Amino acid sequence: MNEFNKPLVSLIVTCHNLGTYLPECIKSIEAQTYRNFEIIIVDDYSDDDTKAVIEKNYKNKNIISKFFGASDIRVIETKKNEGQLGAFLTGLKVSKGEFVCMIDADDVLLEDYLSTLLQAHMNVSVAFVSAAQCEIDENSTIHCLNSISSPLFKNTGGIYKKLSADKIFDTDFEDFEVKTVTDKQCPFGAWCWNPSTSAMMRRSALEFLFLFKNVEKYKTGADKFIFSFLHLLGSSAVVSKPLFAYRRHNSNCSGTNPLIGNFTYLKPEAVDRLIKWNKEIHIVMLDFIIKNYSYFCARLNTMNTKKLIFKIIFSFNFVTIKRALKALLYKIC
């Protein structure tokens, strides 16, 4: 296969007031074992010291890279706070990669992130692949190497080999499993993946989203919308190997404490978002496809476009309904 070109991966780092964590995120990207990638930082109208961090470290980095062989970094500044989905699509429009990752600026990649996700893509034909995750806090202290929030894999229990003290934080998981996610496991509107940074997506599938205009609906939770659409369009797969560290801190959606991946510990505002997303996702997606029906038919043909619509209308996911009702109960109590 040496005569073929290796695919370019575009890493779009969306950043709003996360300048404190951005350097660690970029450093982890530059340390990747797979080297054919580009970095695009989208500063989504930050109003703290993020601009100063970017100005000092990454503006004109593309000029410096010519002399030192460092990775090319492109910086885009939005003219208003577009939110996660808007910022990502802004970066996607200027990106060139055949594969694309939406990186949260407060997360950290493990060094085999790109190579492992690409390996998975080379062996399963899906729209995107999502990896398992580690958990860290605001001080970059690791709390778990293989979070129980990683879906479809049971990472708790089992028999473990005793390791020496200097090896217990070893993230070198040589063996890993890749599972293709079926519609039965994850019908439309369900959630079977890890957050934004976990995924490597095919550009050919993402390009449909250039037609989506109502980005204000997903200032947060863009991964819910994007992953649901891509899974509907071209299915997905999950990788058992933890490939990034998800950071829990005061500003993210999940929680401020190091408790790992448990629905019970969502902040009240996160519960509100969950109820809203689960209520709206079917309506929003149907509206998107119907408004752009002729484009979908041209790309997928009429029969397949109708299949997408029927899948959305007739998808029932009792787990998601149960979770939404549970969220409502927590909110009331």
pLDDT of residue 267: 66
* Tens of pLDDT, residues 257-303: 555 555 555 666 777 777 778 889 999 999 999 999 999 999 999 99
Is residue 66 assigned to a domain? yes
The band of 72, judged by pLDDT with boundaries at 50, 70 and 90, is confident
Is residue 178 assigned to a domain? yes
Total structural domains within the chain:
1
pLDDT of residue 29: 98
Q: At 148, which CATH number?
A: 3.90.550.10
pLDDT of residue 238: 95
pLDDT of residue 70: 55
Measure CA 166 to chain center.
31
Q: Within 13 Å of residue 121, how many CA atoms lie on the same side as its CB?
A: 24
Is residue 293 assigned to a domain? no
What crossing angle do the helices spanning 268-291 and 302-313 adopt, rounded to 10°?
150
pLDDT of residue 172: 79
Mean pLDDT is lowest, of 51-60, 88-97, 143-152, for: 143-152
Mean pLDDT is lowest, of 63-72, 229-238, 324-333, for: 63-72
Do 328 and 276 meet the contact criterion of CB atoms below 8 Å apart?
Answer: no
C-alpha torsion sign, points 100, 192, 226, 123: positive
Is residue 268 assigned to a domain? no
The pTM assigned to this predicted structure is 0.91
Percent of the chain with pLDDT strictly greater than 90: 65
How high does pLDDT run on average in the chain?
88
* Tens of pLDDT, residues 174-220: 788 999 999 988 999 888 999 999 999 999 999 999 999 999 999 98
Do 189 and 278 meet the contact criterion of CB atoms below 8 Å apart?
Answer: yes
Is residue 290 assigned to a domain? no
pLDDT of residue 154: 60
Residues near 118 by beta carbon (within 8 Å), at least 6 away in sequence? 7, 9, 34, 99, 200
pLDDT of residue 16: 96
Is residue 296 assigned to a domain? no
* Tens of pLDDT, residues 116-162: 999 999 999 999 999 999 989 889 998 888 887 766 766 555 667 78
Cα 130 to Cα 151, 199, 236: the distances in Å are: 10, 4, 8
Residue 324: its H or E element: helix 318-332
The residues that bridge with 214 in the sheet, in sequence order, are: none
pLDDT of residue 32: 97
Is residue 43 assigned to a domain? yes
What crossing angle do the helices spanning 222-234 and 302-313 adopt, rounded to 10°?
130
> Which DSSP string do the residues of 160-194 spell out, in sequence order?
-----TTTTT--------EEEEPTTTS-TT---S-
Residues near 99 by beta carbon (within 8 Å), at least 6 away in sequence? 7, 8, 9, 10, 117, 118, 121, 200, 201, 202, 203
Mean pLDDT in residue range 73-94 = 97
**Helix ranges, 46-200 (H):** 50-57, 61-68, 83-94, 113-123
pLDDT of residue 321: 67
* CA–CA dist 225, 281 (Å, integer): 7
Mean pLDDT is lowest, of 3-17, 59-73, 123-137, 228-242, for: 59-73
* CA–CA dist 223, 188 (Å, integer): 14
* CA–CA dist 193, 233 (Å, integer): 16
Structural domain containing residue 235: 9-256
Is residue 37 assigned to a domain? yes
pLDDT of residue 63: 52
CB atoms within 10 A of CB 20: 16
